[in-house]
Amino acid sequence: MGWSIGWDEKWKRDIGYGVPAICDQPGCDVEIDRGLAYVCGGEAYGGDRGCGLFFCGDHRRMYDRLPELCDRCAPRLKTPYQPKADSLKWLFFKMTDESWADWRKENGLTIEEIC
């Protein structure tokens, strides 16, 4: 199984290293992807300690022997950040690329309506 593109049921958004994104840290505009290299908790969906959101290297750190965590999960704050919306780059790809034609059809979307 690959981690290029998948779905996160908790956050209701596409994930994977094939999904361009913006760091979920409020105020940060660094471009990343939603792959395992950027996920809080170091494992799919955040593992046992992380929130499963995605952060650039400046907003994910190792604490003791724990996986890389955001500054909300490291001290075990109960409320995670709000996830950021999909990047325009990702939305454009989903709305125009032929590989997403079936998905658009299933969701009642057409390229003509979008563009």
**50-77 pLDDT tens trace:** 999 999 999 998 877 778 999 999 888 7
Please measure the distance between the N-terminal and C-terminal CA atoms of the chain and give it in whole angstroms.
33
**pLDDT at residue 62 in the model:** 81
Which sign does the torsion angle of CA 83, 22, 2, 36 carry? negative
Whether residue 115 is predicted with pLDDT greater than 60 in this model: the reply is no
**What are the φ and ψ backbone dihedral angles of 81, each rounded to 5 degrees?**
-65, 160
- Top-confidence residue, 38 or 67: 38
Q: Taking the model in full, what pTM does it have?
A: 0.89
